[in-house]
Amino acid sequence: MGTPQLLDPFIVAADRALRAVSCRAHASRANPAGGAADELSVADRRESAALMRVNHAGEIAAQALYHGQALVAQSASTRQLLLRAAEEESDHLAWCEQRLEELGSRPSVLTPFWYAGSFAIGAIAAAFGDRASLGFVAETERQVEGHLDEYIGRLPGDDQRSRAILTVMRTDEAQHAANARAAGATELPAPVRGLMRRLSRVMTFAAYWA
């Protein structure tokens, strides 16, 4: 295998990163919000926008985690599972972007940082082997489900469009976790799970305000 071929995976990874961070996301499925209408007060729009900005940042991080893990995955089957999940996360990203526009807001200004940091974390997780990498997926998605439950509860009562989007996202995340467990995921040690929760809280706080 020549040098250009050795570089191919890294070139593909760089292309995915640029698309995720700088290009508008495109969904392969219809937006779950459908034709639902909402009439939100200024305060409610501001709160919904902040919460959807957090979710958008989470989807950027999810894309990066999967891309980093796919780059280092040992087996083709694990790599394909990760990339399929990343495609579904792209739907989530597009829906969150659309909702932020409707609310007159924008994604987090720290988007490149969320991607770079999460990509590195995903690659490190995958370096411990496919079962550990799949365990990281299962635990990440389990924690994301909990966050989505919280955000669905925190949304203003009249914001049915955001709520519809987050509800479908939660279903997809649960399926990603189930797929990872079925593929042989191993449970992560408690200290690792705790560190993941702390890092998630940092991102949530920063994305809410910026």
pLDDT (tens digit per residue) in 145-174: 999 999 999 999 999 999 999 999 999 999
Q: How far is CA 175 from the centre of its chain?
A: 14
pLDDT tens, position by position, 15-38:
666 666 766 788 889 999 987 667
**Quick one: residue 188, left, alpha or beta (phi over 0 = left, psi -120 to 50 = alpha)?**
beta
Domain ranges in the chain are: 40-209
Contacts of 26 (CB under 8 A, 6+ apart): 90, 94
Binned at pLDDT 50, 70 and 90, residue 7 comes out as low
Question: Tokens for 87?
Answer: 């495609």
Contacts of 146 (CB under 8 A, 6+ apart): none
Distance CA 93, CA 80 (A): 20
Q: Is the pLDDT of residue 1 over 60?
A: no
- Which of 118, 134, 146, 148 is CA-nearest to residue 177? 134
Q: How far is CA 173 from the centre of its chain?
A: 9
Question: Would you tell me which CATH number, out of the four given (1.20.1260.10, 1.10.3720.10, 3.90.1110.10, 3.40.50.720), belongs to the domain 40-209?
Answer: 1.20.1260.10
Binned at pLDDT 50, 70 and 90, residue 87 comes out as confident
